[in-house]
Amino acid sequence: MALKWRDSFSCDIKEIDDQHKRLFELGSNLYTLASLKDEYDHYDEIVQIIEELKSYTEYHFEYEENLMLQYNYSEYETHKLEHKAFINSLVKLEKEDLDVHQAQSIMKLIVFVTDWITAHIMKTDMKYKEFFKEKGK
C-alpha cells in the first residue's frame, strides 16, 4: 500500500499533481486513524474521512474528465469508465462493510482505495501525460 507521494507519480500538471497529493493525504489520514489502538472509537471520524475522500475523488475525476474533453483526448471514454467503476465499487464497499463496523472491513476498504488510486495514476493517468505535454498544458 503506497501512501506516500513520490516524484514518479507526477503527471507534470500542477493542478492534477496537487489533487493526487491531496488524495494520498486523505488516504494516509484514514490509515493512521484506522490503525490507532487507543481506547477511543474512531468509527465516526473514519466514516467522515471516507466521505471526504469520496467527494474529493469525484471532484478530481470531474476535473480530469473536463480537461480531457477540452483537449479532445482520444481515451476519454475508457478513462471515464474506470473512474465510474471505482466510485461504484467504493459505494458498494461502504454499504457492505462499514455497516458491519469492523476494523478489518475498514482496513480492507482503505487498502482497496489506496491500491486503486496508485495503480490508476501509474497506469491510466500516466497515459495522458505525454498527450497534455504535447498540447502545451
Kindly write out the interface string for residues 60-79 of this chain, putting x where it contacts Fe ion by CB under 5 A and - elsewhere.
Answer: ----x---------------
CB-CB contact of 46 with 99 (8 Å): no
Is residue 23 within the footprint of Fe ion (CB under 5 A)? no
Single-letter amino acid, residue 40: Y
Write out the binding residues for Fe ion, residues 97-126 only, by CB under 5 A. Answer: 125
The nearer residue to Fe ion, 108 or 120, going by C-beta atoms, is 120
The nearer residue to Fe ion, 36 or 69, going by C-beta atoms, is 69
To Fe ion, the closest distance from the beta carbon of 16 in angstroms equals: 6
What contacts 42, CB < 8 A, 6 or more positions away?
33, 34, 36
- List the grid coordinates of 1: 500500500
To Fe ion, the closest distance from the beta carbon of 17 in angstroms equals: 10
CB-CB contact of 34 with 46 (8 Å): yes
- Under DSSP, is residue 99 helix (H, G, I), strand (E, B) or coil? coil
Binding residues for Fe ion, rule: CB under 5 A, are 64, 125
